[in-house]
C-alpha cells in the first residue's frame, strides 16, 4: 500500500512564532471552532546503513553522529499535514503559537476539517522551510497535487539547502488516531499531543578531509602523494558529477528501488532501496545523462571552470572533529536493482549513473628524480618546451622522442612499451600511440594535470567486483566525509578524454584510496586510494 509520496509544492511562508492567525498559502481561513494540536520537532540526526548496530530503527551508523551547523538546523516555518492511510490529503495547518521549549509547537485546525476522520487513524506529515517552487499548471495546494509523483526542482541548492532554511520533512512515518470527541482540545491551553516528529534534511553533504597519518604514499612535507622517487601527485581541485536535477519531497524506500509499493518516510534497511526520481531510466541501462536532461553534463569536457572548487579554498570546519572542511550540498541520487522484484540480487545498474567526485591534480617533479633519471627530470621541469609526455603501464617514459630512444635501445627492445611503440609506428606514429596502450598527458599552464574519479559509496559490501544494494548512492541527510589516503598510479589525463563512464561493477584493482565515513547528519567517512 502506498502511504504517501512527496507531494506538495507550496510557496514558502514566513510565519511569526507568536501570531494567532492561521494562513493557508496566503489565504485567511474561516476560523470557526478550532481544534488544537501540539507537537515537538526533533531536528535531524540522520541515518546510515553502512554500519548497523541494531540499537536504533532510524540512526544506525556506528561511524558516529555529527551535529549540524546553526545554518543547517534552523527552522523558519513549519507546516503540518494530515492525510488518510491511502495518501489522500485531509487538511493542513501552520504554526499558530509556540509553547514551552524551543521546537515545541501548537497548531490549529478547523473542527469540521477533522470531524469526518474522528476516531480514525491518519498519517501525519511535516514540512519545515518549504522551498519556493511551483507545480505544473500553477496548482500549489496539497489537495491538488498527486502525492506520489510530485517532485521539486533541485537544480539549485538554494531550493533545498539554503543557509538557515534547509528543507526538511519526516524522517519516520507517523500515524495518529484522531479522538472521536474533539471538544477537550478546542483550547490552545489543552492541545492534543502528537508527540515528537523527527525530521531530516532533503540535502546530502560532502566534506573533504586530510590524508591519514597511516597513508603509504602521502608525503606531508610535499603536500602530495608519491608515485615514484622524485615524482608526486598534488591534488588541487575537486568537482562533482551526476547531480540529480529533481528530487522527491519525502524519502521513499522500496524492495527494488522502483515506485512499486514504495513506503514514504520508510526506514532504509540493508536489503531495500531508497527510491529517486530517475529509477526507470537507470534500470533500463540508459547511462548517457547529459546537460539538459536529468543530470549535469559529464561525458563531455571536464575542463569547464564552473565545476571546480579549489581544495585550498575550503575553510569551513565540520562539526565532527574539525579536521574536515565542508565542501558542498547535493541532491539525492540512487541506483535501483535491475531485476525487478529481487531485492537480494546485486545491483548491476552502471556506476556512472551514481554521483561521482572528481579530484584534479598535477605532476610535481622534485630534485630526487635527478639522481635516477636526470634527462626525464629536465624535460618534465619545462612542460611547454618538452610537450606531450607518454606513460605506459603506469610508468612515465617522457615525450615521444624519448619513447623512441628508449624503445630502440637493445636493453629495452623486448619490453612491452617497446613492442607497443613499434605497433604505433606501424600504424602511423605518435598519433596512434594511444591506440597502442600509451597514455598521453598534454601540458597546460599548470603543467601536466590528471584527474581521479571516485563513485560515491553509501553502503560498502566489501566486495570489489560486485555492486551491492545501495552501495553506490547519495542519500538525503547523509554527510559523506572523503579523504584521499593513497595514490598509487597515474590518473586520467585532464583536458582529454573523460574517465571511463560505462563501468557496470567495481574494479578489482584500486589505485586511488578514499577513506569514507558516514555519520548522522548521517556522515559516511570514505577513504580513497588511487
CB 4 within 8 A of CB 124: no
Reported as type and span, the H/E element at residue 374 is: helix 374-380
- The average pLDDT across 237-256 equals 87
Q: Where are the domains of the chain?
A: 23-202, 206-361+446-529, 388-441
The Cα 484–Cα 504 span in angstroms is 23
Task: Quickly state the pLDDT bin for 58 (edges 50, 70, 90).
Answer: very low
> Tens digits of per-residue pLDDT, 85-122?
888 888 888 785 555 545 788 999 999 999 899 999 99
The CB density around residue 110, as the number of other CB atoms within 10 Å, is 17
Question: Are the CB atoms for 337 and 282 separated by under 8 Å?
Answer: no
Q: What is the rounded average pLDDT for all residues in the chain?
A: 78
Please state the rounded mean pLDDT for residues 477-487: 92
User: Which CATH class, in words, describes the domain spanning 206-361+446-529?
Assistant: mainly beta
Q: How confident is the model at residue 13 (pLDDT cuts 50, 70, 90)?
A: very low
Residue 472 has pLDDT above 50, yes or no: yes
Among 250, 196, 192, residue whose Cα is nearest residue 4? 250
What does the pLDDT average to over 292-296? 38
pLDDT at 209 over 80: yes
Which residue's C-alpha cell is 481544534? 35
Q: Average pLDDT of 464-470?
A: 79
Measured from the Cβ of residue 347, the count of other Cβ atoms closer than 10 Å reads 29
- Lowest average pLDDT, out of 3-12, 61-70, 335-344, goes to 3-12
Q: Higher model confidence: residue 378 or residue 79?
A: 378
pLDDT per position as a tens digit, 417-437: 999 999 999 999 999 999 999
Tell me which DSSP letter residue 86 carries: T
Q: What is the mean pLDDT of residues 40-56?
A: 49
Distances (CA, A) of 244 to 353, 354, 423, 489: 10, 9, 43, 30
Average pLDDT over residues 51-63: 38
pTM of the predicted structure, to 2 decimals: 0.84
pLDDT at res. 130: 79
| Per-residue pLDDT tens digits for 130-163 | 765 444 434 445 444 565 577 888 878 888 999 9
pLDDT tier, 270 (very low <50, low <70, confident <90, very high otherwise): confident
Place 28 in a pLDDT band, splitting at 50, 70 and 90: very low
Q: Which of 355, 403, 347, 354 is nearest to 375 (CA)?
A: 403
Give the span between the Cα atoms of 194 and 189, in whole angstroms. Answer: 15
For the chain, what's the residue count?
Answer: 530
pLDDT at res. 17: 30
pLDDT number for residue 301: 35
In the structure, what pLDDT confidence band is assigned to residue 303 with cuts at 50, 70 and 90? Answer: very low
Is the predicted pLDDT of residue 453 greater than 90, yes or no?
Answer: no
| pLDDT at position 184 over 50 | yes
Distance, in Å, from the CA atom of 244 to the CA atom of 515, rounded to the nearest integer, reads 24
User: Nearest-5° angle of CA 129, CA 273, CA 202?
Assistant: 10
Is the pLDDT confidence value at 125 over 50? Answer: yes
Bridge-based pairing state of the strands 192-201 and 34-42: parallel
- CA–CA gap between residue 480 and residue 38 (Å, rounded): 35
Q: Which of 324-338, 467-481, 502-516 has the lowest mean pLDDT?
A: 502-516
pLDDT band at 16 (very low <50, low <70, confident <90, very high): very low
Q: Given this chain, do its domains 23-202 and 206-361+446-529 carry the same CATH topology?
A: yes
Collapse the DSSP code of 422 into the 3-class scheme (helix H, G, I; strand E, B; otherwise coil) and give the result.
helix
DSSP annotation of 154 reads -
User: What pLDDT, on a 0 to 100 scale, did the predictor assign at position 51?
Assistant: 35
Is the model's pLDDT at 30 over the cut of 60?
Answer: no
Q: What is the C-alpha to C-alpha distance for residues 86 and 89, in angstroms, rounded to an integer?
A: 9
- Greatest mean pLDDT among 7-11, 366-370, 507-511: 366-370
Q: How confident is the model at residue 314 (pLDDT cuts 50, 70, 90)?
A: very high
The arrangement of secondary structure in 23-202, i.e. its CATH architecture, is: Sandwich (2.60)
Residue 513 vs residue 62, higher pLDDT: 513
pLDDT at 302 > cutoff 70: no
- 71: which 3 cell numbers? 545554518
Amino acid at each position: 500500500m502506498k502511504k504517501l509520496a512527496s507531494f506538495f509544492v507550496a510557496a514558502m511562508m514566513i510565519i511569526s512564532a507568536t501570531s494567532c492567525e492561521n494562513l493557508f498559502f496566503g489565504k485567511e481561513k474561516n476560523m470557526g471552532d478550532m481544534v488544537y494540536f501540539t507537537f515537538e520537532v526533533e531536528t535531524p540526526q540522520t541515518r546510515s546503513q553502512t554500519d548497523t548496530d541494531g540499537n536504533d530503527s532510524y540512526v544506525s551508523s556506528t561511524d558516529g553522529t555529527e551535529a549540524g551547523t546553526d545554518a543547517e538546523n534552523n527552522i523558519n516555518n513549519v507546516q503540518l499535514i494530515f492525510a488518510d492511510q491511502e495518501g489522500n490529503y485531509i487538511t493542513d495547518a501552520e504554526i499558530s503559537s509556540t509553547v514551552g521549549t524551543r521546537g515545541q509547537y501548537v497548531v490549529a485546525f478547523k473542527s469540521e476539517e477533522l470531524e469526518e476522520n474522528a476516531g480514525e487513524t491518519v498519517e501525519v506529515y511535516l514540512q519545515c522551510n518549504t522551498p519556493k517552487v511551483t507545480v505544473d499548471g500553477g496548482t500549489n495546494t496539497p489537495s491538488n497535487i498527486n502525492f506520489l509523483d510530485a517532485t521539486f526542482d533541485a537544480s539549485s541548492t538554494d531550493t533545498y539547502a539554503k543557509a538557515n532554511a534547509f528543507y526538511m520533512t519526516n524522517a519516520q512515518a507517523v500515524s495518529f488516531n484522531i479522538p472521536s470527541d474533539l471538544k477537550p482540545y478546542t483550547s490552545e491551553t489543552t492541545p492534543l499531543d502528537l508527540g515528537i516528529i523527527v525530521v531530516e534534511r532533503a540535502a546530502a553533504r560532502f566534506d573533504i578531509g586530510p590524508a591519514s597519518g597511516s597513508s603509504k604514499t602521502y608525503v606531508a612535507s610535499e603536500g602530495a602523494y608519491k608515485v615514484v622517487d622524485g615524482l608526486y601527485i598534488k591534488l588541487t581541485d575537486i568537482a562533482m558529477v551526476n547531480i540529480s536535477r529533481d528530487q522527491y519531497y519525502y524519502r521513499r524506500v522500496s524492495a527494488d528501488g522502483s515506485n512499486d509499493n514504495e513506503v514514504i518516510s520508510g526506514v532504509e534497511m540493508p536489503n531495500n532501496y531508497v527510491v529517486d526520481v530517475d529509477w526507470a531510466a537507470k534500470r533500463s541501462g540508459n547511462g548517457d545523462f547529459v546537460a539538459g536532461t536529468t543530470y549535469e553534463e559529464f561525458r563531455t569536457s571536464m575542463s569547464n571552470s564552473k565545476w571546480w572548487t579549489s581544495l585550498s579554498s575550503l575553510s569551513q570546519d565540520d562539526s565532527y572533529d574539525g579536521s574536515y572542511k565542508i565542501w558542498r550540498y547535493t541532491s539525492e541520487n540512487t541506483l535501483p536493482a535491475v531485476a525487478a522484484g529481487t531485492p537480494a540480487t546485486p545491483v548491476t545498474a552502471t556506476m556512472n549513473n551514481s554521483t561521482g567526485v572528481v579530484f584534479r591534480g598535477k605532476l610535481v617533479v622534485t630534485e630526487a628524480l635527478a639522481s635516477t633519471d636526470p634527462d626525464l627530470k629536465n624535460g618534465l621541469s619545462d612542460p611547454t618546451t618538452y610537450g606531450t609526455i607518454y606513460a605506459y603501464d603506469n610508468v612515465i617514459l617522457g615525450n615521444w622522442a624519448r619513447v623512441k630512444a628508449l624503445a630502440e635501445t637493445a636493453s629495452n627492445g623486448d619490453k612491452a612499451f617497446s613492442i607497443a611503440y613499434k605497433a604505433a609506428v606501424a600504424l602511423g606514429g605518435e598519433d596512434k600511440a594511444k591506440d597502442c596502450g600509451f597514455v598521453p598527458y598534454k601540458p597546460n599552464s599548470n603543467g601536466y594535470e590528471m584527474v581521479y574519479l571516485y563513485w560515491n559509496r553509501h553502503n560498502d559490501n566489501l566486495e570489489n567486483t560486485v555492486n551491492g544494494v545501495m552501495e553506490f548512492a547519495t542519500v538525503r541527510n547523509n554527510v559523506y566525509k572523503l579523504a584521499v589516503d593513497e595514490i598509487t598510479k597515474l590518473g586520467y589525463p585532464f583536458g582529454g578524454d573523460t574517465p571511463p563512464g560505462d563501468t557496470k561493477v567495481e574494479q578489482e584493482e584500486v589505485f586511488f584510496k578514499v577513506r569514507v565515513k558516514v555519520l548522522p547528519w548521517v556522515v559516511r567517512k570514505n577513504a580513497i586510494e588511487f
